[in-house]
Amino acid sequence: GQSLEQPSEVTAVEGAIVQINCTYQTSGFYGLSWYQQHDGGAPTFLSYNALDGLEETGRFSSFLSRSDSYGYLLLQELQMKDSASYFCAVPKGAGTALIFGKGTTLSVSS
C-alpha cells in the first residue's frame, strides 16, 4: 500500500519562504503531486513531479528525489492568502485515485 508523511503544521510570516516535506512509501511509483485546500473548499492542484529534480511554477516549486522517497513543496514570497492546508499525494496506480498525506496546515501571519 501507500503511505505519506508530512508535518502537521507550519507557521511563517508574510514574505518568508517555507518548505513542506513529504516522505512516501509506495508499492509502485507514479509521481508525487501537491494540492492546496482552503477551509471548506476543494483541493486544487499545485504541482506534479514524476522525475527527480525541481519543478517551478511561479512562487511555488516542488522537488522530488525518488531514491530517497522524498519530496517537498517550496513556497516563496508568502502571502496571507497562502494560509491553507497542503497535501502531498501519490496515485494508487497509473491514472488512478490519489492517496493523500495527512496534510500540513500553513499559517501565514503579517
Binding site for other proteins (CB under 8 A): 30-31, 33, 40-45, 48, 50, 87, 91-92, 94-103, 105
Min dist. Cβ of residue 102 to other proteins (A): 5
The smaller minimum CB distance to other proteins, of residues 15 and 53, is found at 53
Min dist. Cβ of residue 41 to other proteins (A): 7
The smaller minimum CB distance to other proteins, of residues 15 and 64, is found at 64
DSSP string, 52-109: SEEEEETTEEEEEETTTTEEEEEE-S--GGG-EEEEEEEESSTT--EEE---EEEEEE
Min dist. Cβ of residue 54 to other proteins (A): 17
Strands 84-91 and 60-65: unpaired
Instruction: Give residue for cell 500540513.
Output: 104
Q: Which cell numbers in the block locate residue 84? A: 491553507
The smaller minimum CB distance to other proteins, of residues 59 and 102, is found at 102
3-state secondary structure of 12: strand
Min dist. Cβ of residue 32 to other proteins (A): 10
